[in-house]
Amino acid sequence: MSSITSGNAQQYADSGKLAARARLNRQYTIAETGWFPWVARRLPLKPGDRVLDIGCGPAWFWASVMKDAPEGLHLTLADQSSGMVAEAVERCRALPFASVTGREADATALPLDDGSFEAVIAMHMLYHVADQPAALAEMSRVLKPGGTLAVTTNGAGNMREIYQLTTVFGSPPADPAGEAFGYDKAEALMRAVFGNVAFFQHPAMMKITEPEDVFLALTSYPPGDRAGEPELAAFREAIARAFERGGGVLEAAKETGLFLSRKET
Ligand SMILES: C[S@@+](CC[C@H](N)C(=O)[O-])C[C@H]1O[C@@H](n2cnc3c(N)ncnc32)[C@H](O)[C@@H]1O
């Protein structure tokens, strides 16, 4: 089992560690439209739809896009972390949904009826799942015919300039999310289950001006979060050199994409 599919109970007990990475993305991404609103605009949601958000995390997505969402959505927030479900439900109950339900659930064995949702959303979570085909089959099962599955993930080249610095931890010079469930895999597995898939890449790049924010984000998960002092010092040194080369700025390409599949009627 790779480090990205194990140890998630500790990683996602609450939203603290995720927040360090979200901060890096939020503060330094340059894009005409931010990630969450960009995704929301491409979701074919209609008033009154029943929506499952699996691997919902703290539901920052909904807090960010709710003002533009269709009216009367019935939202089910599911995650294998009970801490995340509690935070997500608390956040979304304060928003104008028709109903909000929380479920502690594993994506590969959803405790939900067949055909019970018009849309299933799985954002940046399938790279944590060891049996991705099983999870996609479950998402298809709970969708009603004609319903849409929306999946987001990173490409293997995402933030390459930053991941190259993590080789001091013995990590490959690539985004572990993109390695575990990158663009090619998402496309192939979704096509295998649904027979169709459309792909959209968020046009964005990063311009980071504060070295410490790179350090905090990349030491928020394995193996950086358990590195010893000599490795951490080498990591700080590698970050400092990268900022020097860029004249005080670290620029990084982003590969973050959305895949949509429609269940046959
Ligand atoms: C990177 S966070 C993404 C959170 C949110 N979807 C977003 O995009 O902001 C990944 C989430 O997936 C959850 N997760 C990981 N493996 C899971 C599984 N097998 N079943 C359900 N949730 C899982 C984690 O607990 C975590 O909350």
How much is the pLDDT for 231?
93
Q: Is the CB of 60 under 6 A from ligand 1?
A: yes
| 86 vs 20: CA distance, rounded Å | 20
The pair of three-digit structure tokens given for residue 197, joined into one six-digit string: 């898939």
CB 170 within 8 A of CB 239: no
CA of 118 to the centre of ligand 1 (A): 20
pLDDT above 50: residue 35: yes
Domains recognised in the chain with CATH numbers:
8-157+173-203+255-262 (3.40.50.150)
pLDDT above 70: residue 175: yes
Q: Give the rounded distance of the alpha carbon of 104 from its chain centre.
A: 18
The residue nearest atom 26 of ligand 1, judged by CA position, is: 57
Residue of 76, 84, 128 to test ligand 1 pocket, by largest number of atoms within 8 Å of CB: 128
| 41 vs 48: CA distance, rounded Å | 17
CB 191 within 8 A of CB 197: yes
CA distances from 24 to 5, 61, 248 (A): 22, 16, 16
pLDDT, tens only, 113-142: 999 999 999 999 999 999 999 999 999 999
Residue of 125, 129, 181, 221 to test ligand 1 pocket, by largest number of atoms within 8 Å of CB: 125
pLDDT, tens only, 222-233: 888 899 999 999
The residue nearest atom 27 of ligand 1, judged by CA position, is: 57
Measuring CA to CA, which residue among 203, 156, 253 is closest to residue 31? 203
